[in-house]
């Protein structure tokens, strides 16, 4: 959008209500014209009125450029390069431990800034996915180099921590998830990331680790009688929407890696999980299900729905057109996209609880939605004319939470499947909640593809944006 058009969109001589974006430092101004006949007690009463001129939209409400998004992703990468030092330290002295030195009981992986950046965490796996996508979308090798360096650190550290386990036991060993995974969170997302990296030629040979993790996901994790991946918490038999990503995504990647039967396993797992969690009338996933709580209410947590949307995209990318479950899964994705789009806030992001506007705006789920919607458009599963502007506004909201350091702000911390709304309402947010970084990278990379897609043009008319198919007849 050129400068004159930007001025036309934002200029106004009327009074403005000043609002502050959650977690941001810059105010933005918004206007809303009151409905006809409004007055004391009427719908819309108390809204600021405009006399002349155009309404003022948030400065972030614009058509982003590829260069702009590339720069924002670059800030994230630069921050994460410092946040993940890739070294072993002594937790008592703080000194650096050489990986070829004799093991000591107090040696641990350095988790970086505020000790929040765990190289083996599932959120780091999503960061690797985002880095690889960003490298492809931008052509900047530095994104892929981040993943390459981190995987080389893991490979170089395995002998040290194996020796430490032999000498002092597995308790407290930083590499326990590598040697003895005990949950999908330990290994599922990382297995998928390692397979993707290997197929992209990144990192050293970590095939033994891939095999350990793949075996756990495929055969070690607790399942229901019908084969659906499940957990023993918070109730003895529970299903989490989060595990769509932690379980089905690695199964998809295992199929690409040569174990073809795992693709059917992934499709069945997603379909059977959706039978229990997806609410067609709402177009949303409730966070979880427990066998002993058949009357439990639904909790439409944002990030749970984000995990579901990203997983559906990953699975549909892999499923052949004639797969018996494909049509139903595509219908679920389309239904979720339609519902999520209708719940987008005026700031561009989505709320912590999607159906509760009084809950805070949350960045990680919003980034997942931007990625999922943009990816579905680029793949032709939904139309750009319906959802292009939604993805664009969502990206602008997410980008507004990338600070000058490259931190992704206003991200909900780790969250369990809970039994009451109060828990979800009051979860903390933090730039050190690493759940936001990978989705932001993925969303930005997919937005670059959306903006470069030749199938449509973006037109600015009547103070808003329209994604118009290039084949459409012109008036």
CATH at residue 121: 1.50.10.10
Q: What is the mean pLDDT of the chain?
A: 90
Question: What average pLDDT does this structure show over 31-36?
Answer: 34
Q: Are residues 201 and 251 in the same domain?
A: yes
Instruction: Tell me, yes or no, whether 19 lies in a domain.
Output: yes
Contact 451, 62 (CB under 8 A): no
- Containing domain of residue 46, as a range? 1-59
Q: What is the mean pLDDT of residues 258-283?
A: 97
DSSP-derived 3-state class of residue 11: coil
Residue 322 burial (CB count, 10 A): 7
Residues 24 and 137 both lie in one domain = no
Q: Are residues 393 and 417 both part of a single domain?
A: yes
Measured CA to CA, the distance from residue 431 to residue 441 in angstroms comes to 15
- Which pLDDT score, from 0 to 100, does residue 58 have? 67
| Same domain flag for 38 and 158 | no
> Phi/psi zone of residue 380: left (φ > 0), alpha (ψ -120 to 50 degrees), beta?
left
355 assigned to some structural domain? yes
Residue-wise pLDDT tens digits, 105-157? 999 999 999 999 999 999 999 999 999 999 999 999 999 999 999 999 999 99
Per-residue model confidence (pLDDT) at position 48:
52
Q: For residue 459, what are the β-bridge partners?
A: 466
pLDDT digit string, tens, across residues 143-185: 999 999 999 999 999 999 999 999 999 999 999 999 999 999 9
What pLDDT, in 10s, does the model give residues 405-459? Answer: 999 999 999 999 999 999 999 999 999 999 999 999 999 999 999 999 999 999 9
Distance, CA of 377 to CA of 374 (rounded, Å):
5
Residue 211 has pLDDT above 60, yes or no: yes
Whole-Å CA distances, 54 to 57, 263, 459, 463: 9, 52, 18, 9
| CA–CA distance, 108 with 119 (Å, rounded to integer) | 11
Residue 475 belongs to a domain? no
Assign 385 a pLDDT band (cuts: 50, 70, 90): very high
For residue 34, tell me if it sits in a domain: yes
Q: Is residue 474 part of a domain?
A: no
| Cα separations in angstroms, 434 against 188, 252, 387 | 17, 24, 28
Residue 138 has which token pair?
Answer: 């931008």
- In this structure, the answer to whether residues 164 and 31 fall within a common structural domain is no
Checking if the pLDDT of 28 tops 80, the result is no
**Residue 220 and residue 296 in one domain:** yes
The band of 27, judged by pLDDT with boundaries at 50, 70 and 90, is very low
**Same domain assignment for residues 385 and 457:** yes
Structural domain includes residue 322: yes
How many domains are there within the chain? 2
Res. 231 pLDDT band, cuts 50 70 90: very high
Looking at 43, 59, 75, which one is the last position of a domain?
Answer: 59
372 assigned to some structural domain: yes
Pick the most confident of 24-33, 59-68, 175-184. 175-184
State residue 258's pLDDT score. 87
Q: Which pLDDT tens digit goes with each residue over 278-327?
A: 999 999 999 999 999 989 999 999 999 999 999 999 999 999 999 999 99
Confidence of residue 53 (pLDDT cuts 50, 70, 90): low
| Burial per residue of 52-63, b for 16 or more beta-carbon CB atoms within 10 angstroms, e otherwise | eebbbbbebbbb
pLDDT at 33: 32
Is the domain of 244 the same as that of 347? Answer: yes
Is pLDDT above 70 for 21? no
Q: Higher pLDDT residue, 89 or 2?
A: 89
- Which of 59, 83, 106 is the last residue before a domain boundary? 59
Q: In terms of domains, do 234 and 323 share one?
A: yes
- Answer whether residue 6 is part of any domain: yes
- Considering the domain architecture, whether residues 49 and 144 belong to the same structural domain is answered as no
Considering the domain architecture, whether residues 165 and 34 belong to the same structural domain is answered as no
Q: Is the same domain home to 169 and 30? A: no
- What global pTM score does this model have? 0.89
Amino acid 474: pLDDT: 52
């Amino acid at each position: 959008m050129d400068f004159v058009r930007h001025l036309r969109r934002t200029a106004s001589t009327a009074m403005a209500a000043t609002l502050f974006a959650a977690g941001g430092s810059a105010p933005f101004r918004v206007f809303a014209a009151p409905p006809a006949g409004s007055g004391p007690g009427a719908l819309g009463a108390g809204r600021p009125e405009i006399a002349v001129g155009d309404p003022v939209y948030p400065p972030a409400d614009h058509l982003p450029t590829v260069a702009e998004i590339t720069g924002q992703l670059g800030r994230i990468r630069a921050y994460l390069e410092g946040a993940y030092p890739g070294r072993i330290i002594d937790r008592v002295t703080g000194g650096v431990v050489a990986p070829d030195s004799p093991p000591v009981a107090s040696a641990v992986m350095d988790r970086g800034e505020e000790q929040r950046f765990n190289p083996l965490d599932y959120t780091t796996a999503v960061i690797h996915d985002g880095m690889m996508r960003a490298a492809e979308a931008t052509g900047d090798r530095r994104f892929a180099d981040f993943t390459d360096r981190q995987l080389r650190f893991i490979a170089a550290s395995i002998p040290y921590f194996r020796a430490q386990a032999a000498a002092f036991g597995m308790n407290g060993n930083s590499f326990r998830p590598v040697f003895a995974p005990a949950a999908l969170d330990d290994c599922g997302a990382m297995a998928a990331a390692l397979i993707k990296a290997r197929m992209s030629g990144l990192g050293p040979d970590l095939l033994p680790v891939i095999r350990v993790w793949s075996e756990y996901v495929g055969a070690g994790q607790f399942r229901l009688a019908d084969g659906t991946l499940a957990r023993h918490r918070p109730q003895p038999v529970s299903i989490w929407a989060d595990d769509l990503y932690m379980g089905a995504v690695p199964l998809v990647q295992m199929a690409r890696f040569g174990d073809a039967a795992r693709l059917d396993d992934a499709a069945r797992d997603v379909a059977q999980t959706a039978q229990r969690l997806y609410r067609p009338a709402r177009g949303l996933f409730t966070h979880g299900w427990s066998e002993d709580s058949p009357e439990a209410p639904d909790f439409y947590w944002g990030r749970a729905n984000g995990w579901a949307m990203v997983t559906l995209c990953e699975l549909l990318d892999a499923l052949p057109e004639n797969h018996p479950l494909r049509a139903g899964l595509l219908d679920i994705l389309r239904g979720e996209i339609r519902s999520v789009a209708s719940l987008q806030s005026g700031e561009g992001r989505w709320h912590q609880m999607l159906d509760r506007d009084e809950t805070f705006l949350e960045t990680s789920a919003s980034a997942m939605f931007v990625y999922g919607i943009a990816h579905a458009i680029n793949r032709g599963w939904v139309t750009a004319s319906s959802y292009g502007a939604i993805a664009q506004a969502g990206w602008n909201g997410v980008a507004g939470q990338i600070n000058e350091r490259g931190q992704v702000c206003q991200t909900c911390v780790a969250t369990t499947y809970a039994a009451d709304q109060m828990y979800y309402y009051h979860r903390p947010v933090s730039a050190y909640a690493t759940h936001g970084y990978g989705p932001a990278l993925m969303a930005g990379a997919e937005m670059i593809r959306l903006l470069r897609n030749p199938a449509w043009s973006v037109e600015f008319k009547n103070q808003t944006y329209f994604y118009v198919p290039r084949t459409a007849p012109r008036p």
